[in-house]
Structure formats: C-alpha cells, structure tokens
Amino acid sequence: MAQVSLRRVVKEYEGGVQAVKGIDLEIADEEFVVLVGPSGCGKSTTLRMIAGLEEISSGEIAIGGMVVNDIPPRDRDIAMVFQNYALYPHMTVYENMAFGLTLRRFPKDEIRRRVENAARILDIGELLDRKPKALSGGQRQRVAMGRAIVRDPKVFLFDEPLSNLDAKLRVQMRVEIKKVHQTVRTTTVYVTHDQVEAMTLADRVVVMNQGIIEQVGTPQELYHRPATRFVAGFIGSPAMNMIPARLENGAGALRLRLPGDIVLPVPAERTQRYAPLAGGEVLFGIRPEHLTEPKNLDRPNIATFEAAPEVIEPLGMETLVIFSLQGNEVTARLDPAVPAERGRKMPFAADLNQMHLIEPRTGRVL
Amino acid sequence: MSVTAAAEATAAPAAPLYRKVGSIRRERRWALIGAYVALAVFVVFFLTPPFHMLMTSLKSSAEIADLSNNPWIVQSPTLENYWALLNHGSYPRHFLNSVIVTLSTVAITMVISLLAAFALARMRFWGSATLATGVFLTYLVPETLLFIPLFQTIGSLGLYNNLWAMVLLYPTITVPFCTWIMIGYFSSIPKELDEAALIDGANHFQMLWKIFIPVALPGILAATIFAFTVSWAQFLYPMVFLVSSEQMVLTVGIVSDLIRGDTFQWGMIMAGAIMAALPPLLIYAFLMDYYIAGLTAGATKG
C-alpha cells in the first residue's frame, strides 16, 4: 500500500529561481500517474524530489503515509528508471539487478528467485550473464526496469525512460511498461515530455507548466475538457486550433465572428455558460478532427464555411489541410478521399458540439 | 582588342579544380612512411642512453677505462658489476628502502586521492570547485623551492636523515596530481550512476567502493603508475634530507656510494641504474594500455 502525497511542494534553487512552485498532488495506491509538460516545467524536479535526489525547499512529501522530507533515497523504498538507463557498466545484468538486494543483505536464494522472476516478466532470461555494453538500447531499458522490479518497492519512478530509444522501440517498450504495471501493480510516477506516451500509459495525467500543475485528470478528461489554454494546446496532435474571435449577441443567441467574416452559431445549450463573455474577444478552440469535410450535416451544431487550403499533408489514413484565416493558421483533418487542392476554395464543417472558448486574458477554458 | 581578349578568357573552359587525381592508397603509404621514419628517429634518440648504460654495465673497469675501444661494443662481457652490487656494499639496502618508500607512498597517495577526488567530483558542497583548482595549483609549486621551508618542517619533526620522512614528503608531489587526474575521471562517470546506487541503497562509501572504483579503474591505474614512477625516481628530497647510507634510497644511494671523490665506478653505476629502471619498466609494460586509456579518457569526456 503506497500512496504518494505532495503538499505545497516548492523547489527553489540558489538565486531564487523556482523550478516547482508549490504543487499539491495525491497519487493513489497502484495508480499509474504520468507527469507531462515541456522541458523546464518542473516535472523531472518533482520526480527527483519524490526520489529524494533533490531536497525540497518547502512543503511536504509523503510515501505510504510517512513524511519522507528528510529521509535519504535508500530508505524511501522506491526504485527509479533513468533515461540513460544508468546500468553499472562493470556488472553483469544479473549483478545489476541483484545489486540493491545485495546491499540490503537479502539471502542469496531470495535474490536469485527475484532476479529470475523479473527476468521472466521482462523476457531477459538469456541476458543475465552479459555486461550492459553487450546489450541493445531496448534490452538495457528492460534491465533497468528489472533492477526496479526485483526490489519490489513501494513506488516506481520513471524519468523519461523511453527518450533514448528509436520510435519503433519506444512504442514497443511503452506497451511493455504498461504490461509490467498491470502485472506488478506498483504505484508508478512516470515523467515524459511526450503527450502520446502520457495519454497511452496513464491512469491519470498531470500536466505541468512553468513549475505549476495546469490540470490533473484521466487522458479522456484532459482531451475533452481541458481546463486551460496550455492543456488544450499541449494535449492532442496535431494541436488544437485556437482562433481569435469575437463573441456576439444577436436575437437571443450567441455567435462567433471569426477572421474572414466567418460566423458560427454557438450551440444553444452553451448560451448560458458563455453569456458573461458576450461582446468580448475570445479564443475559439477546436481540434483538427472536428474540422472536416462537410458531413453529418443533419446533426445539430454542425456549421459549414469555406476556405482555401494552403498546405495539404496526405498521411494515408487521413489528410491534414492547413488554411489561414487572416494570418491565423488552422488545421483540418479530412478523409483522404476528399479532393483538396492548394489555393482552391472548398467547404469545411465545424463540429461545434466539440468547441471550446478560451478567455484570452486568463487562459481559462470556459 | 583587350576587350575581346577578356571576353575570350571568360569564355574559355575553367581549369579543373584538381589538376591530378590523388590516390587514397598512395597517400596512405606516404603517411605511413613518414610516421615510421619519425618514430624510428625518436626510438633511436631515446634508446641510445639506456643502450649505452647496458653496454657499460657489462664491461670490466679496465675495458671502460681503455679509450681505444669502441664505447658501444662490449669486447668481453661480464656480470661482475651486477655481482659486486648485489653482494657487497649498500645497493640491496637502497633497493629495499626504495621499495618501502615507494609502496608506502603509493598506498597513502591512492587512499587520500581517491577519497579527495570522490568528494570533490561528486559530493557537491560549497567551495568544492575552488578546492579542486587549489589542489592542482599546489602541484605547480616546484619542489626545488619547497624543499627549503620543508627542511625546517622535517627538522622540527625530528625526521632529518630518516627514511620515513620520504613517506611524508613524496605524497606532497603525488597526491595533488593523482587527485586531479581522478577528479577528471570521476566527473566523466554519469551522475545517474551514483543516483541509481543511492536509490539501490548504497551509502557514499559503498558507492565509491562498489561503483566508482571499478568503473574508474583505468584512471586509478594511471594515477597509481604516476605515483609509483614519481616516488621511485624522486631525487631532490632524498638528496636533501637523507645523509647516511643506510637511510638512502636508490636514486641517491647509487651516486653517493659509487662516486668516491673524483673516482666514478662507471660499470657499477650503470649496472645499478639498469636494475633500478626495471621495476617501473615492468609496471609500464603490464599496465600500458590501461595507463593510456586512463590519461586520455578523463581529458575527452570530462
């Protein structure tokens, strides 16, 4: 049983630079939580504070109900997997995995049993006698995970473990990590800058930016109900379109006036929610997959407009079309069968059921 | 006319950029020949004195004194110089003294340098960078200046003309350099390695013993060889601080015992020098690869 709690945790470096600005986070037992954000957002620092590799400037971190602020890493009962694997180069795979148990004076039989068990889970049984330099990147990453698993710790910490692998191996290891978690059910905190990794692995994703937590939620929540402009733009690929617009009030209904005099009606059920902003400037957010060729026009809140594509990116299963609304680039996601031609006006449909309105000043999504 | 000529000149096909086409094989062959010639010159230059030493050590005193002989050739080789050194006089005593002083110095140096380098390279603390530079700066003070104040120090400790004074003095030369070499080597070890060890449950001593020493072994061997060579060949300090023959080490023992007034016992001096050169030679021969790897690794990665 190991939940991890962060209460008003601050990390301030010499010179007053705050890497982490007082974050609160509760991670439940057996949960897989991913910290995600751009570089410099404080996610790695947060992980290293949980590990005890960085001292915390103020606040409180508790693992399994015990405050660990002053407890050294070795007594926190955690295991960590590093981006560059950090395998001991002079030890064999077996010795690497056994090292932590040897230091803790586990009986030899128990060490062997645990190492062999972890090797079986990770399918590295035949590598046990090799030195790390004789392993490929993927194999090294497995050994690094094995070293964590044998310890049977309260918490697994992963610091961008897949960043050094090539794209194909990364996908494979991602699945592997998820499987391992499903097998051992150890509370896991995982740091990455890759939002796809975050979405695919996490029970809950923590989006961080500039030392604060922007939003915590399940991947679905973050995708469909982003709380801030940052989360809306960070989660999802290609990123959500954000178009400056004016929210107008006319004849009891709200409508959005986009650059290029495109007017879109705001769905009636959102009138009340958006009413306070009427008459002001807003950011109209819509994901590329909700800007398509005209389809489902019989459903409510589908609006059409015309625009001329500037760039066409055929990806095979879909075609991305980029057009400009008075200098604002907008990406739409079309069926590959739809003929699109650079510079020739064509119709688009916007699914306004999926729209977001962002208050430009606060960056809050309404 | 000139205008036409100019026009023609521009119109003429441009001269090929490379007149003759080179050959990789030919270029490589010339590079090799150059390398061999240069190396041969160096080898001859540096091996001439040891060769002369060896030849002279195998001659009798009479043959050395006979100026009509070719100095590079031994007419009637003899081991009498070696025999005389090993069986009479203080040579074995000096050899033993050198071994004692050198081994003690190496041991002391390695213990101090390893701990100091680990602390300075890894345990970030206030002033550690300045201290690391300071350690190296002490190495830059020449011993030819240091021995004057050291004379007072050693005298006040009652260690004048005492072999163990050398064990105290040699590390002042070896520790700074070895520490500096190992700071560079330790710094090249990724930080995640000690973090992994910390999380695995190691304390700082275990981290040094089980991770840093094995990983930095080439660097440690390089430092060991350096400490050994410097201690073995040290001349100034024993010259200044040791006066009686039974306290002397090889370097001063040979010149003080085998030169009487203006009489140089060249045969025995050379035999003594040859035997004195053997231990470093053997150590180099066995550890050369490690030594080079150690010297360069810190430089490129650090």
Whether residue B135 contacts residue B179, with contact meaning beta carbons closer than 8 Å, is answered with yes
List the domain boundaries for chain A: 4-227, 241-358
Per-residue model confidence (pLDDT) at position B1:
41
Q: Is the bond preceding residue A238 a cis peptide, omega within 30 degrees?
A: yes
Per-residue model confidence (pLDDT) at position A201:
92
For residue A162, the SS3 value is: coil
In sequence order, what DSSP letters do the residues of A118-144 get, joined into one string?
Answer: HHHHHT-GGGTTS-GGGS-HHHHHHHH
Give the integer Cα–Cα distance in Å for B131 and B110: 18
Residue B7 confidence (pLDDT) above 80:
no
Give the integer Cα–Cα distance in Å for B12 and B249: 80
Let me know whether B138 and B275 are in one domain.
yes
Give one word for A144, left, alpha or beta, with left for phi > 0 and alpha for psi -120 to 50. alpha
Find the domain containing B296 and state its range: 88-301
Per-residue model confidence (pLDDT) at position B70:
83
User: Among residues 145-204 of chain B, which lie with CB inside 8 Å of chain A?
Assistant: 190, 192-193, 195-203
Let me know whether B97 and B60 are in one domain.
no
Burial of B126-165, coded b for 16+ CB within 10 Å and e otherwise, reads eeeeeebeebeeebeeeeeebbeebeeebeeeebeebbeb
Q: What are the strands of the beta sheet with A291-292, ordered from one edge?
A: A291-292, A346-351, A302-307
Residue B133 lies in a domain: yes
Let me know whether B69 and B136 are in one domain.
no
Whether residue A287 contacts residue A332, with contact meaning beta carbons closer than 8 Å, is answered with no
For residue A38, the SS3 value is: coil
Q: Which of A51, A84, A85 is nearest residue B199 as measured by Cβ atoms?
A: A51
Let me know whether B119 and B250 are in one domain.
yes
Compute the average pLDDT of residues B95-115. Answer: 95
Give the integer Cα–Cα distance in Å for A51 and A61: 10
Per-residue model confidence (pLDDT) at position B112:
95
Chain-chain contact of A103 with B206 (C-beta, under 8 angstroms) = yes
Chain-chain contact of A78 with B199 (C-beta, under 8 angstroms) = yes
Instruction: Name the residue in chain B with its Cα closest to that of A155.
Output: B199
Let me know whether B139 and B178 are in one domain.
yes
Per-residue model confidence (pLDDT) at position B19:
64
Number of domain units in chain B: 2
Give the integer Cα–Cα distance in Å for B176 and B223: 11
Let me know whether B244 and B274 are in one domain.
yes
Let me know whether B131 and B55 are in one domain.
no
Burial of B78-88, coded b for 16+ CB within 10 Å and e otherwise, reads eeebbeebeee
Chain-chain contact of A86 with B198 (C-beta, under 8 angstroms) = no
| Maximum Cα interatomic distance, chain B, rounded to a whole number of Å | 100
Q: Angle between the B91-122 and B80-87 helix axes, to the nearest 10 degrees?
A: 80
Residues of B in contact with A80 (CB under 8 A): 195-196, 199
Whose structure tokens read 């700066």? B137
Residue B1 lies in a domain: no
Looking at residue A354, what DSSP letter applies?
A: G
In sequence order, what DSSP letters do the residues of B232-266 get, joined into one string?
Answer: HH--HHHHHH--SGGG--HHHHHHHHHEETTEE-H
Let me know whether B112 and B173 are in one domain.
yes
Average pLDDT over chain B reads 85
Chain segment B59-93, per-residue pLDDT in tens? 888 888 888 888 888 888 888 889 988 888 888 99
Q: Which residues contact A348 (CB under 8 A, 6 or more apart)?
A: A291, A292, A293, A294, A304, A305, A306, A307, A332
Chain-chain contact of B199 with A84 (C-beta, under 8 angstroms) = no
Let me know whether B33 and B112 are in one domain.
no
Residue B51 confidence (pLDDT) above 80:
yes
Q: Which fold has domain A4-227?
A: Rossmann fold (3.40.50)
Per-residue model confidence (pLDDT) at position B63:
86
Phi, psi for residue B244 in degrees, rounded to 5: -90, 145
Residue B97 lies in a domain: yes
Residue B98 lies in a domain: yes
Residue B16 lies in a domain: no
Residue B11 lies in a domain: no
Q: Which of B192, B201, B217 is nearest residue A84 as measured by Cβ atoms?
A: B192
State the pairing for strand pair A155-159/A78-81.
parallel
Looking at residue A160, what DSSP letter applies?
A: S
Residue B6 lies in a domain: no
Per-residue model confidence (pLDDT) at position A302:
87
Per-residue model confidence (pLDDT) at position B301:
32
Q: Identify the helix (H) or strand (E) that includes residue A322.
A: strand A319-325
Residue B13 lies in a domain: no
| CATH number of the domain within which B95 lies | 1.10.3720.10
Per-residue model confidence (pLDDT) at position B2:
46
Whether residue A75 contacts residue A142, with contact meaning beta carbons closer than 8 Å, is answered with no
Give the integer Cα–Cα distance in Å for B252 and B243: 9
Let me know whether B276 and B215 are in one domain.
yes
Compute the average pLDDT of residues B267-276. Answer: 90
Residues of A in contact with B197 (CB under 8 A): 88, 99
Q: Angle between the B91-122 and B217-233 helix axes, to the nearest 10 degrees?
A: 140
Q: Which one, of B278, B271, B175, B290, lies nearest residue B232 by Cα?
A: B278
Let me know whether B199 and B126 are in one domain.
yes
Chain-chain contact of B200 with A72 (C-beta, under 8 angstroms) = no
A241-358 is classed in which CATH architecture? Beta Barrel (2.40)
Could you list the pLDDT tens digit for every one of the 366 residues in chain A? 689 999 999 999 888 888 999 999 999 999 999 999 998 899 999 999 999 999 999 999 999 989 999 999 989 999 999 988 899 988 999 999 999 999 999 999 999 999 999 998 888 889 999 998 888 888 998 999 999 999 989 999 999 988 888 888 888 889 989 988 998 899 999 999 988 899 999 999 999 999 999 999 999 999 999 999 999 999 888 899 999 999 888 777 888 888 888 888 888 888 888 888 888 899 999 999 999 998 888 888 888 888 999 999 999 999 999 999 888 899 999 999 988 889 899 999 999 999 999 988 888 888
In sequence order, what DSSP letters do the residues of A187-228 get, joined into one string?
Answer: EEEEEES-HHHHHHH-SEEEEEETTEEEEEE-HHHHHHS-SB
Per-residue model confidence (pLDDT) at position A255:
87
ipTM of the complex in this document: 0.82
Per-residue model confidence (pLDDT) at position B215:
86
Whether residue B101 contacts residue B167, with contact meaning beta carbons closer than 8 Å, is answered with yes
Residues of A in contact with B218 (CB under 8 A): none
Band (pLDDT 50/70/90 cuts) for residue B229 is: very high
Band (pLDDT 50/70/90 cuts) for residue B99 is: very high
Per-residue model confidence (pLDDT) at position B300:
37
Task: Please say which residue of B47, B78, B109 terminates a domain.
Answer: B78
Q: Would the CA dihedral through B150, B154, B155, B160 be positive or negative?
A: negative
B109 CA to centre of own chain: 15
Q: Which of A88, A104, A147 is nearest residue B193 as measured by Cβ atoms?
A: A88
Band (pLDDT 50/70/90 cuts) for residue B263 is: confident
Let me know whether B138 and B249 are in one domain.
yes
